């Protein structure tokens, strides 16, 4: 039988080689066609008496990237349609039956009576990895880039093709659950240590060795289908089981605050499944899977963290009239905290970098940052010395501005001071080569005002990096009113070259990300001044899903910087533009108590010396509170809500102000840029999934109690009246260069 996505060849020994190779795609994914063909192949292999065993491999560099998430999204849409047309029972059955198909196919491999070997020639993730787990043996070729794992939890779902059952039957329950919770993709050495991969062999020998395993009598029965099978981590109801499951439930709560139904379902599947025979256990997994797939959290995370992110990375916002640009050489002016890191990530991406500062020493210090990064990576075994040397050789440190004259892109990261920036622009302007672009990394100064220093404003743009640049995956590109298409296209192409995700926003004070996250920090000040115990402020923010509390985040970004920004805003727009109580609080902390944040070991927290314990909330903080509320009288749900609503309503204002023109950018930007809870799908999805009407009601309730920071903008009120969503009213633009 001929298949579209698979090639099947049976050799003289009766061993079939199934090669997965979806035509026209760079990666194999499990979609409707591949899934159906795979089911047919499994049936054919099982029923064909001439086939003695099966080796499955891939014709691509990687084995399989996992399930096609757009297929899951389609399933969800069909579910919604069926729900309204045929009712809940029929719709639920549809999702369950669909979820069951793949799991059943994999089980058919396991119990079909023929030995199957997975010849893993490259990375195998998600459903692709689950397919290999259902095979009776796994051999991998020794490719250092290969990773195996189950990353589903990262998009709000979990492995529904047997992964939650097979892994804890192969390794101690704790290791399996950790791997499932973290969505970790591990290398072959770890996979071998954990007993997932049997052998690692040279690529040229892979298929032969897989066939040999069958020829020498490889068993066509999984260990758990044999009599006397013992779980590696012990039965659920045993001393070992009790030692694991009770703390595991507590750990899950500590890590997720129960905001992620997908993560909870992993533990439920493992707990219930390990008490059952495999077939029933797999049905249990499918039930949970179909339930999680229908959750808002899964829909929101798949949309924002997979589809939207992919679309933005593919250049959804790129002007289609500009041909692709490969940035070969950049200059970074200002080799300080940010500039040095921008230089490093660029050189790491193969771009030549000139680091310019006021004098040679300062420029050298900037390059020294790259050396320190490289030394640390080499000593941890994460980088080869030669690769590190190659990165360093691409960086030139100098105080001479003439060095920018052959650069495709210049990024300015000098002090956040209009005068200093203007001086830099005056010096750089005449030296730019034809077609080169100039970007500023300012975090607060409006781009349009800085553009006034430029003769040709079309080449001026903002590229806002987030600190630490090496870790943060977002870059916010700010388009001024006269920024040209070439500047935008260059900025987007450069951001992709350094492997960050770009969002494109229009100019405004604080742009998008800082506007929203500032309100999160301010809400922390507000609660402090109201008398909420500091620990409760921090904990409720984390319970709401933020990665850290507002006081902690403030310490990281530095309290003196916060004060500086308040003062600059006051100077630019007037005293009414800021909250004077916030300023007073910061003046007290920074100027009277010398508390600058983590950088001097004293902020809202006290920081012990390195290696000497953990940070602790500064005990005297409560003395700065004008009053103290009894925690038992506080409404925890309302505190949580305030943190998210205050950021989301600001995000809605950025849409009204035309700073955000595409909802995907607010969503992806808020998750990657400042850790808005991923399970919500981002600031605007948070509103969409709640329902605009309900969100406006919440805003009005909070406005009445706490003031105008919760006042919903007109746009939201209008949308609520028409029952509109952001994605409905502002449909995302199609990718120009898919």
| Phi and psi torsions of 507, nearest 5° | -70, 140
Residue among 357 and 507 whose Cβ is closer to ligand NAD: 357
512 near ligand NAD (CB under 6 A): no
Distance CA 649, CA 712 (A): 6
Residue among 215 and 365 whose Cβ is closer to ligand NAD: 365
Distance CA 511, CA 554 (A): 19
* Residue 650 near residue 708, CB atoms below 8 Å: no
Stretch binding ligand NAD (CB under 6 A), from 89-97, 164-172, 294-302, 355-363:
355-363
Distance CA 412, CA 423 (A): 11
Stretch binding ligand NAD (CB under 6 A), from 41-49, 166-174, 408-416, 698-706:
408-416
Among 115, 198, 261, 334, binds ligand NAD (CB under 6 A): 334
User: If binding means CB under 6 A, how many residues of this protein chain bind ligand NAD?
Assistant: 23
Shortest spacing between CB 597 and ligand NAD, in angstroms: 12
Of 414-473, which residues contact ligand NAD (CB under 6 A)? 414-416, 420, 423-424, 441-443, 465, 467
Q: Which helix (H) or strand (E) holds 353?
A: strand 352-356
Query: For ligand NAD, what does the binding mask look like between residues 55 and 84, x meaning CB under 6 A?
Result: ------------------------------
333 near ligand NAD (CB under 6 A): yes
Distance CA 427, CA 401 (A): 7
Stretch binding ligand NAD (CB under 6 A), from 90-98, 208-216, 413-421, 700-708:
413-421
Between the CA of residue 551 and those of 505, 561, 579, what are the distances in Å? 28, 14, 17
Among 14, 232, 336, 350, binds ligand NAD (CB under 6 A): 336
Stretch binding ligand NAD (CB under 6 A), from 128-136, 297-305, 317-325, 357-365:
357-365
| Phi and psi torsions of 517, nearest 5° | -70, -30
Residue among 283 and 418 whose Cβ is closer to ligand NAD: 418
Maximum alpha-carbon separation in the chain = 86
517 near ligand NAD (CB under 6 A): no
362 near ligand NAD (CB under 6 A): yes
Residue among 234 and 336 whose Cβ is closer to ligand NAD: 336
Geometric angle at alpha carbon 422, from 416 and 423, rounded to 5°? 105
Distance CA 580, CA 595 (A): 19
Residue among 86 and 467 whose Cβ is closer to ligand NAD: 467
Distance CA 9, CA 270 (A): 37
Shortest spacing between CB 362 and ligand NAD, in angstroms: 5
Shortest spacing between CB 356 and ligand NAD, in angstroms: 6
Between 580-587 and 513-530, two packed helices, what is the crossing angle to 10 degrees?
A: 80
356 near ligand NAD (CB under 6 A): yes
Q: Facing residues of 553 across strands?
A: none
From the candidates 136, 464, 582, 628, which is the catalytic residue? 464
Residue among 269 and 347 whose Cβ is closer to ligand NAD: 347
338 near ligand NAD (CB under 6 A): yes
Q: Is 464 a catalytic residue?
A: yes
Which structure tokens are listed for 405? 């004259």
357 near ligand NAD (CB under 6 A): yes
Nearest to 409 by CA among 390, 428, 389: 428
Buried b / exposed e over 441-456, threshold 16 CB at 10 Å, is: bbbbbbbbebbebbee
Among 413, 478, 516, 517, binds ligand NAD (CB under 6 A): 413
Distance CA 302, CA 293 (A): 10
H-only helix segments in 61-172: 69-86, 88-111, 126-134, 163-170
Q: Which helix (H) or strand (E) holds 200?
A: strand 199-201
Residue among 224 and 401 whose Cβ is closer to ligand NAD: 401
Q: Say which residues have a Cβ less than 8 Å from residue 472's Cβ, sequence separation at least 6.
A: 465, 466, 500, 672, 673
Residue, CB closest to ligand NAD: 336
335 near ligand NAD (CB under 6 A): yes
Shortest spacing between CB 357 and ligand NAD, in angstroms: 4
Stretch binding ligand NAD (CB under 6 A), from 299-307, 334-342, 379-387, 543-551:
334-342
358 near ligand NAD (CB under 6 A): yes
Q: Looking at the annotation, which residues are catalytic?
A: 464
Enumerate binding residues for ligand NAD (CB under 6 A).
Answer: 333-339, 356-358, 362, 413-416, 420, 423-424, 441-443, 465, 467
């Amino acid at each position: 039988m001929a298949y579209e996505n698979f090639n099947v060849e049976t050799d003289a020994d009766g061993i079939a080689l199934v090669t997965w190779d979806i035509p026209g795609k760079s990666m194999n994914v499990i979609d409707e066609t591949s899934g159906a063909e795979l089911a047919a192949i499994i049936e054919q292999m099982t029923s064909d008496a001439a086939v003695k065993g099966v080796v499955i491999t891939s014709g691509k560099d990687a084995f399989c990237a996992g399930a096609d998430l757009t297929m899951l999204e389609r399933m969800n849409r069909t579910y919604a349609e069926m729900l309204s047309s045929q009712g809940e029972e029929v719709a639920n059955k549809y999702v369950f039956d669909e979820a069951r198909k793949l799991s059943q196919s994999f089980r058919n491999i396991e119990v079909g009576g023929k030995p199957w070997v997975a010849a893993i020639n490259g990375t195998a993730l998600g459903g692709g990895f689950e397919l290999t787990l259902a095979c009776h043996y796994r051999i991998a070729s020794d490719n250092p880039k290969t990773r195996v794992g189950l990353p589903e939890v990262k998009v709000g779902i979990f492995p529904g093709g047997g992964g939650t059952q097979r892994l804890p039957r192969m390794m101690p329950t704790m290791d399996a659950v950790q791997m499932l919770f973290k969505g970790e993709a591990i290398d072959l050495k770890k996979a071998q240590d954990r007993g997932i991969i049997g052998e690692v062999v040279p690529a040229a020998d892979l298929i032969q060795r897989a066939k040999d395993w069958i020829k020498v009598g490889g068993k066509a029965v999984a260990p758990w289908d044999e009599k006397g099978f013992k779980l590696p981590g012990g039965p659920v109801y045993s001393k070992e089981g009790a030692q694991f499951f009770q703390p595991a439930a507590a750990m899950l709560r500590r890590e997720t605050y129960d905001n992620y139904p997908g993560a909870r379902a992993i533990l439920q599947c493992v707990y219930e499944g390990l008490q059952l025979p495999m077939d029933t256990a797999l049905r249990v997994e499918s039930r949970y899977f179909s339930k999680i797939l229908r959750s808002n959290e899964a829909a929101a995370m798949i949309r924002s963290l997979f589809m939207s992110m992919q679309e933005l990375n593919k250049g959804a916002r790129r002007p289609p009239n500009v041909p692709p640009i490969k940035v070969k050489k950049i200059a970074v002016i200002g080799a300080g905290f940010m500039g040095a890191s921008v230089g490093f990530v660029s050189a790491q991406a193969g771009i030549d970098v000139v680091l310019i500062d006021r004098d040679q020493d300062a420029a050298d210090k900037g390059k020294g940052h790259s050396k320190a990064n490289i030394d640390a990576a080499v000593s941890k075994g994460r980088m080869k010395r030669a690769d590190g040397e190659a990165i360093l050789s691409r960086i030139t440190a100098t105080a001479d501005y003439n060095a920018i004259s052959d650069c495709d892109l210049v990024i300015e990261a000098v002090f956040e001071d209009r005068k200093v920036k203007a001086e830099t622009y005056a010096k750089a302007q005449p030296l730019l080569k034809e077609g080169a672009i100039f970007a500023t990394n300012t975090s607060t100064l409006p781009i349009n005002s800085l553009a006034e220093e430029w003769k040709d404003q079309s080449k001026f743009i903002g590229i806002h990096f987030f600190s630490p640049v090496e870790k943060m995956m977002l870059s916010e590109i700010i388009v001024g009113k006269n920024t040209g298409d070439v500047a935008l296209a260059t900025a987007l192409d450069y951001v992709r070259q350094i492997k960050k995700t770009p969002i494109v926003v229009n100019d405004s004070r604080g742009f998008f990300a800082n506007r929203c996250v500032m309100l999160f920090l301010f809400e922390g000040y507000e609660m402090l001044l109201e008398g909420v115990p500091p620990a409760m402020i921090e904990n409720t923010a984390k319970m709401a899903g933020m990665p850290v509390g507002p006081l902690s985040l403030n310490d990281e970004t530095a309290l003196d910087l916060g004060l500086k920004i308040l003062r600059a805003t006051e100077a630019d727009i007037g005293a009414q533009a800021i909250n004077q109580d916030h300023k007073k609080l910061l003046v007290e902390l920074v100027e009277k108590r010398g508390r600058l944040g983590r950088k001097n070991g004293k902020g809202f927290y006290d920081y012990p010396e390195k290696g000497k314990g953990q940070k602790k909330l500064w005990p005297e903080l409560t003395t700065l509170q004008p009053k103290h509320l009894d925690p038992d009288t506080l409404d925890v749900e309302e505190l949580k809500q305030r943190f998210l609503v205050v950021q989301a309503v600001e995000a809605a204002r950025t849409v009204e102000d035309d700073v955000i023109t595409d909802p995907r950018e607010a969503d992806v930007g808020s998750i990657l840029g400042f850790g808005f809870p991923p399970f919500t799908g981002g600031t605007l999805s948070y509103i969409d999934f709640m329902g605009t009407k309900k969100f406006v009601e919440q805003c009005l309730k909070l406005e009445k109690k706490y003031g105008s920071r919760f006042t919903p903008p007109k746009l939201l009120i209008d949308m609520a009246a028409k029952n509109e969503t952001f994605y409905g009213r502002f449909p995302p633009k199609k990718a120009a260069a898919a």
